[in-house]
Amino acid sequence: MGTWYLDADLAESPMYKPPERIKHRLPLAVVPSSVAAATSRLFSPLVLKSGLRLNDRTWVPAMVPWRATAEGLVTNEVLDWYGRFAKGEPGAIVCEATGIRDVPSGPLLRIGHDRFMPGLERLVQRVREQSGGRTRLFIQLIDFLRLRRRPSSERFFRSFLVLRAEHRAILSEMTGDESWADPDRRSDSRVREQLAALSDEQHVEVLDARELEALRFGARERVHDEHLPHIRDLPQTLPSLFRAAASRAKAAGFDGVELHFAHAYTMSSFLSATNDRRDGYGGDRPGRVRLPLEVYRAVRAGVGSEYSVGCRFLCDEVIETGSHVADAMWFAQRFAEEGMDFLSLSTGGKFDDAKQPKVGEAAYPYTGKSGFECMPTAIADQRGPHGRNVAKQARVRRAIRQAGHTTPVVVCGGINRFDQAEGYLQAGVGDLIGAARQTLADPDWFKKLRLGRGAEQRRCVYSNYCEGLDQRHKQVTCQLWDRRQLSEPHIGLSADGKRRLTAPPWPERSSSG
């Protein structure tokens, strides 16, 4: 395996740790011959309802690599990232979560304006060239609400807290000094100073739940904040934004779009059982699915029936009062009825149970239990990380079939062996096999299996080194290869020069050579 490196700040990341601490080793893998691979279901074609043909059932889910410019433009590092995956010739690659609005979002790709088109067109071309035209390329479309970094106590009370009469009244009661309740005797700035000087325990008495969250985690908008006009109007604004983004994706040459209805972001929050909007876009299941369906219909109207449109959503939020498998089964039937071309399933990854960030940093939705269930590590409970949530995903697919629909379902989560993937397909658990961390560990693994050279596969060890980099907004790499062959000519290196940004090349020799 070689030496593993873990940066000190990654080791200190406040990630959830399950009560049971069992170290799970990699299961033995069955390596197929090229003949066995050729006759497998994994390497059989699949034609979507749109007419798009996937050459096989291997699927690389969206991963955020932190390689775009601060303005969301495609860079050479972005091209190299996707080009490297394309050399492994998977059936499909889903490009990272790409913002549909023309607003700053850090070094994440954006598609909210025509100026992003030239870079996206180059991205499509790179994947076509590197895969020999074998790999289909989708782009994931995302919307997200505002999330502030955790402020210092002094800054929160000075700049962010909206003073209310209740703050003055409680402060007056706590101190026994009635002057705090009188704006003529105590200025707002003096009140803010006094509030900032209180202890953590006293802040609990003075602040309401949302104010306390804004102090301890950073303010976070929710889809049910209907008192905010831009939140109230989301059902009117989002369908057209998604439609415009999908139309740009089609014009850029992408084979399809994946609507991001998962994890901690806007559309998933509409689906969540925590969504209690009172305008018909929350509450019961029909209310919560209403906007996601309206978004899909707008996109479909914009791109037509012969262009592939699917979505990624959660089989289980894994949070208190959140949505669970029964909700996902019901939503999946609605999505299938509407004619989506595929459904890709994930788990958890919510802000609701995220760990407290450091001052100056933003909350990260994969630090709590729901985040662990999304990306479990090799140190886990009895269930371990391998195919951990596939049983839940199988229930969702079964519900779709029971409703009379044949919509393909992408299953994922801890899949890194041929026999495991083929077993899921043969058992009807899913129709496509998604593998993000394993494909990051070895971008060529699907190709190696297909050519009968699976013994050369580099298997993910599920340490979540990559996730730690993502949490720190560092360029994402894999510990199994990012310190290897650093002297190789013309390779891209991380900002600190210590890591290579793409996996070393796999020798393209014949199986007999």
For the annotated catalytic residues, the residue numbers are 265
What is the C-alpha to C-alpha distance for residues 483 and 315, in angstroms, rounded to an integer?
36
What is the C-alpha to C-alpha distance for residues 448 and 31, in angstroms, rounded to an integer?
10
CA atoms within 13 A on the CB side of 275: 27
Token pair, residue 375, equals 């990306």
What is the C-alpha to C-alpha distance for residues 131 and 82, in angstroms, rounded to an integer?
10
Nearest to 252 by CA among 348, 350, 109: 109
What is the C-alpha to C-alpha distance for residues 347 and 414, in angstroms, rounded to an integer?
12
- Reduce the DSSP state of residue 265 to 3 states and report it: coil
Distances in Å between the alpha carbon of 450 and those of 45, 52, 148, 191, 454?
A: 13, 21, 46, 68, 8
Place of tokens 């709590």: 368
199, with CB counted inside 10 A (0-12, 13-18, 19+), is exposed
Please count the other Cβ atoms lying within 10 Å of the Cβ belonging to residue 163: 14
Q: What is the DSSP letter of 504?
A: P
Calculated CA dihedral for residues 8, 383, 441, 48, nearest 10 degrees: -140
CA triplet 373, 378, 381: central angle to 5 degrees?
A: 60
**Identity of the amino acid at 1:** M
What is the C-alpha to C-alpha distance for residues 173 and 180, in angstroms, rounded to an integer?
9
Token pair, residue 474, equals 């560092």
Q: Residues 65, 78: contact at Cβ < 8 Å?
A: yes
What is the C-alpha to C-alpha distance for residues 450 and 445, in angstroms, rounded to an integer?
9
Please give the backbone phi and psi of residue 309, each rounded to the nearest 5 degrees, phi first.
Answer: -135, 125
Nearest to 135 by CA among 411, 377, 446, 379: 446
Pairing outcome for strands 53-54 and 46-47: antiparallel
Nearest to 343 by CA among 259, 267, 273, 285: 259
Please give the backbone phi and psi of residue 124, each rounded to the nearest 5 degrees, phi first.
Answer: -60, -45
What is the C-alpha to C-alpha distance for residues 268 and 223, in angstroms, rounded to an integer?
10
